[in-house]
Structure 1
């Protein structure tokens, strides 16, 4: 009897197909396919399920059948051996939960949540039932191909997180093969479109926009937008800002790790006079209790609230893009300010792990000089008003 071929397995319709030596492929009317080993165990015929063809290739099924036949010939229990193998090595879906429970202990809650949810949405439906020792580059490619060009940023994160899970499994002894190489994975996927990042405004245009928005009716979202521009903050950090974080006398805004959406580390912002003026307007309108820029219902502003201010102004740039406007301004107009100071001003991590051990200062004095200059550049009227005189 002719042996099966990989193509024959793929095209096989409902029925039972023998590969010889007791290895059988069974295809149900539903299309479900499974490998079965028919073997003598202590003089009795036993049909042992080996797994579906999604879990085992033809070659892998033959190898597994040969191993179990050998155990049966020696008088062992091939079923117990098969089940022992299943219990010892988790599926990818199981491994995601185990890795999340362990690795998540050292992550910010948002990082841990995104790690798990992205894999549950994109990876587990495709490879969740496959054992972690069987996952190779081709399987990762099958996960990424539907989103690789449509959602490139998400796809790259999913690829990285699959690698994290498999590396974790390798450290636990659940797989011996190397983790699939990112270069090998990319070779099997289309070229991704170039990343354009967040649309940002040329810093030379920021003062005019600021004046226009300042002249309009004051609302929580508009004041939050102006404050974000002046501080270089991320929108989520502004939306969650509360009065307990503000020290007006010291001119600082201390943000706890919980609201630092990107780094997960606490950070203190140096406030320029213009930013303090915006805070004064917010206090006059909404009081000095709880959120600085509350929604009309007293809750945290929605993520789209400040973006709507930009759209209403006829702009296509993003709120996040003002961080880049600030960075470009600092590079071109304040070249005497060290690179690390500008990076710290927008809460970017600076330096290698070794450098961070020795750089214990937060460079606050130099950051004040930088943010004060930005406030005077963007909003000279507010800056001079706070000082009680003209520039």
Structure 2
């Protein structure tokens, strides 16, 4: 059988029909709908056709294309597979890029530490900072601490939460929220994408029972029934101690324990009968003004305005302020039913709701 004659340069230039045209052994010209023209090298391995692109005709001349085809034929004759080798090299480069990205992505523990460092200045106390670190270290890091943050999904979050979800509901709830925030931070930093598997509103909540319906969920502070508060106040007045005065002040102002213990004389305006608590000491982070009743004013007038230069209303015997337990111990000396100091806020709000016409917001 006579060998086909390779097309000349003029014959190649004359080709206009869209499709693939034979030029010489293994060398083809591909013409696309848009008119683009490129060289292809076609060959067969184990009866299967393979194709290698040799470049566009505007960049590679016919002579150069034939030269490349000649070299590829020699390579194939010697057992090579140019297309397979090219694909293998492409896959290797892709694997290298993936490995480089994986190396650049921080672990969950690294992200958590960065999140804490970025946000702890806005947290109100050392206890909150310590709880953030301890819960993650105790419950999260053993499971996902060393895992790249972009590889953490619903299964990994479940491994962390399931062991304590029913045994320690309050801790589990706090832990979920902290993982949620760390993963959200990592997404914002570009380390991960997609939904947050620890989100309160995500699929996680369909895989775990509601925390509020399980034994061990967070309970409200026990409160003295508001009808019994006058009797408690009468008992407090019989006591002559700083803790009793602080407790009475707390009951009469419906303040939180920390707000009372941190109160200083420069926050009190006796003439205007007003206590202005700065934003830095408020749970909501906003300045709060508390009107002072005549009874509170009388109480304040019985207190020394300075104690060795201490500006606090209720100084402690060996510290600037009373301890967190001082008022509770005073209350326990009056009642043994588990009532808490914080519960007086609930006593007040219940009284206001049931006995007055003021709105709940007021």
Question: TM-score range, shorter-chain basis?
Answer: 0.5 to 0.7
State the match for 2:207 in structure 1. 188
State the match for 1:86 in structure 2. 102
Instruction: For 1:237 and 1:340, locate their aligned partners in 2 and report how far apart those are by CA, in whole Å.
Output: 20
1:117 to 1:251, Cα distance in 2 relative to 1, 3 A: farther
State the match for 1:296 in structure 2. 317
1:301 to 1:79, Cα distance in 2 relative to 1, 3 A: farther
Q: SS in structure 1 opposite 2:285?
A: coil
Q: SS in structure 2 opposite 1:303?
A: coil
1:115 to 1:214, Cα distance in 2 relative to 1, 3 A: same
Bigger shift: 73-82 or 187-196? 73-82
Pick the aligned partner of 1:174 from 182, 191, 204.
Answer: 191
State the 1:322 CA deviation: 0.6
Q: Is the 8 A contact 1:133 1:177 kept in 2?
A: no
Instruction: For 2:281 and 2:270, locate their aligned partners in 1 and report how far apart those are by CA, in whole Å.
Output: 20
State the match for 2:161 in structure 1. 144
Instruction: For 2:87 and 2:286, locate their aligned partners in 1 and report how far apart those are by CA, in whole Å.
Output: 55
The alignment covers a number of residue pairs equal to: 269
State the match for 1:203 in structure 2. 226
Q: Is the 8 A contact 1:255 1:268 kept in 2?
A: yes
State the 1:332 CA deviation: 1.1
Over residues 37-64 of structure 1, what are the superposed CA-to-partner deviations in whole Å (9 max), with x where a residue is unaligned? xxxxxxxxxxxxxxxxxxxxxxxxxxxx
TM-score, normalised relative to structure 2: 0.66
Instruction: For 1:177 and 1:188, locate their aligned partners in 2 and report how far apart those are by CA, in whole Å.
Output: 19
Q: Is the 8 A contact 1:257 1:265 kept in 2?
A: yes
TM-score, normalised relative to structure 1: 0.61
1:71 to 1:95, Cα distance in 2 relative to 1, 3 A: farther
State the 1:169 CA deviation: 1.6
* Structure 2: gaps spanning 5 or more residues: 1-85
Instruction: For 1:87 and 1:223, locate their aligned partners in 2 and report how far apart those are by CA, in whole Å.
Output: 60
Bigger shift: 116-125 or 221-230? 116-125
What does 1:69-84 align with in structure 2 at a 5 Å threshold?
A: 73-74=89-90, 76=92, 81=97, 83-84=99-100
1:104 to 1:287, Cα distance in 2 relative to 1, 3 A: closer
Tell me the C-alpha RMSD between the 2 structures.
3.0
Instruction: For 2:87 and 2:108, locate their aligned partners in 1 and report how far apart those are by CA, in whole Å.
Output: 28
Instruction: For 1:287 and 1:312, locate their aligned partners in 2 and report how far apart those are by CA, in whole Å.
Output: 29
Q: Is the 8 A contact 2:278 2:287 kept in 1?
A: yes
Tell me whether 1:232 sits opposite 2:246 in the alignment.
no
Q: Is the 8 A contact 2:274 2:292 kept in 1?
A: yes
State the 1:172 CA deviation: 2.5
State the match for 2:334 in structure 1. 313
1:281 to 1:143, Cα distance in 2 relative to 1, 3 A: farther
1:281 to 1:151, Cα distance in 2 relative to 1, 3 A: farther
Instruction: For 1:305 and 1:74, locate their aligned partners in 2 and report how far apart those are by CA, in whole Å.
Output: 72
Q: Is the 8 A contact 1:253 1:271 kept in 2?
A: yes
* Structure 1: gaps spanning 5 or more residues: 1-69, 342-391
1:333 to 1:264, Cα distance in 2 relative to 1, 3 A: same
Instruction: For 2:91 and 2:206, locate their aligned partners in 1 and report how far apart those are by CA, in whole Å.
Output: 47
Instruction: For 2:139 and 2:242, locate their aligned partners in 1 and report how far apart those are by CA, in whole Å.
Output: 37
Tell me whether 1:251 sits opposite 2:270 in the alignment.
no
State the 1:213 CA deviation: 1.4
